[in-house]
Amino acid sequence: TFTPNAFVEEVIAEMKAKIGNDKVVLGLSGGVDSTVAAVILNKAIGSNLYCIFVNNGLLRKNEFQSVLDQYKGMGLNVKGVDASQRFYDALAGLDDPEAKRKAIGNAFIEVFDAEANLLTDVKFLGQGTIYPDVIESVSATGGPSATIKSHHNVGGLPDFMKLQIVEPLRMLFKDEVRRVGATLGIDPELLGRHPFPGPGLAIRILGDITPEKVAILQEVDAVFINGLKAHGLYDKVWQAGAILLPVNSVGVMGDERTYEKVVALRAVESTDGMTADWVHLPYEFLQKVSNDIINHVRGVNRVVYDISSKPPATIEWE
Ligand code: XMP
């Protein structure tokens, strides 16, 4: 049986032995895995761990600042890099989902590489890889490495990709990572966060991305997620979010007809994301959230709820 305390003790000793007095650079995502990996490495090597947290402009509302503050509060040596505009520029005019993913992947690599190159004498790249990632590393969807190769096959790999890799969580399953995180004293709210895709809101805005659309979706998403939390539903859901549809619909406001955006809400139950069922959220809750969204978010006049299961419908719409 797995005992988090024993694991923490062993992995810290192992990391100390492997890394010695050398430096490690690690990208934080705001998710559970990279956070737990960073806390372990921080315990092993302290300020020789250099964390980089990139704002791609596609995170949830206020998430960059609040998560960055949280990281600093945990004593991590972290630099926040706001590269939102760079990602918006890279995405401008793209509406194909895979083209958007690729643009985001490439922009991330460039930003991260530039930041890592500001540090001197770094020997290791820390990663929050967990056991299912190890198994799936040659997945059909192509992880980050597929993107890296297609983009950098002329000039060679970016420098950070040539570093030796340290992956303190590579033998663990997700529930074990959460238990290790709890043992390390990480905020239960952070450990209980829903999964969030790397390309973020870009794959929940169908069609092309503009900062204005991101701002609308951030507001809608915040009303939905905060509503789930306020009604004690957040922890009963595996993943939830809002999707901005490329559709306008007619509404009325006073004597005027409006022609505004439609958003879809999605909440699923799952164990691993491979299959998923839509959650039967209470009608009263859906009614309240719908009213709150339409009353508070300008530019949205209609809310629909996604009642499709996976398969065949995927969790994300793109
Ligand atoms: P689908 O939509 O394939 O999603 O049913 C399954 C899980 O994967 C997440 N997802 C992604 N995560 N990059 C990521 O890091 C991506 O491009 C991506 N696409 C989907 C999705 O949020 C869900 O948790």
The rounded distance, in Å, linking the Cα atoms of 12 and 18 is 10
Residue 22 CA, ligand 1 centroid: distance in Å: 34
The band of 154, judged by pLDDT with boundaries at 50, 70 and 90, is low
Comparing 127-136, 222-231, 262-271, the range with the smallest average pLDDT is 127-136
Does the pLDDT at position 10 exceed 60?
Answer: yes
Pocket of ligand 1 (CB under 6 A): 101, 195, 197-199, 239, 273, 310, 314-316
Residue 273 CA, ligand 1 centroid: distance in Å: 8
Check: CB of residue 305 under 8 Å from CB of residue 241.
no
DSSP codes of every residue in 168-236: TTTT--HHHHHHHHHHTT--HHHHTPPP--TTGGGGSB-S---HHHHHHHHHHHHHHHHHHHHTT-GGG
Question: pTM value?
Answer: 0.93
Does the pLDDT at position 151 exceed 60?
Answer: no
User: Phi/psi of residue 50, each to 5°?
Assistant: -110, 110
Taking each helix axis from N to C end, the angle separating 211-230 and 84-91, rounded to the nearest 10 degrees, works out to 120
Which protein residue's CA is at the shortest distance from atom 12 of ligand 1?
197
Residue 92 CA, ligand 1 centroid: distance in Å: 22
Residue 207 CA, ligand 1 centroid: distance in Å: 17
The rounded distance, in Å, linking the Cα atoms of 311 and 141 is 16
**Two domains, one topology: 4-191 and 204-305:** no
- Per-residue confidence (pLDDT) for residue 156, from 0 to 100: 74
Does the pLDDT at position 147 exceed 50?
Answer: no
Q: Using alpha carbons, list the distances in angstroms from residue 90 to 43, 54, 160, 214, 268.
A: 37, 15, 21, 15, 31
User: Does CATH place domain 4-191 in 3.40.50.10800?
Assistant: no
Peptide bond into 312 cis (omega under 30): yes
299 is in an annotated binding site: no
101 CA: nearest ligand 1 atom? 17
The architecture that CATH gives domain 204-305 is 2-Layer Sandwich (3.30)
Convert the pLDDT of each residue in 42-95 to its tens digit: 999 999 999 999 999 999 999 999 999 999 999 999 999 999 999 999 999 999
Residue 197 CA, ligand 1 centroid: distance in Å: 5
122 is in an annotated binding site: no
- Per-residue confidence (pLDDT) for residue 157, from 0 to 100: 87
239 CA: nearest ligand 1 atom? 24
- Per-residue confidence (pLDDT) for residue 198, from 0 to 100: 95
Domain spans in the chain, listed from the N-terminal domain onward: 4-191, 204-305
282-302 mean pLDDT:
98
210 is in an annotated binding site: no
User: 40 CB contacts (<8 Å, ≥6 apart)?
Assistant: 8, 11, 12, 15, 168, 169, 180, 184
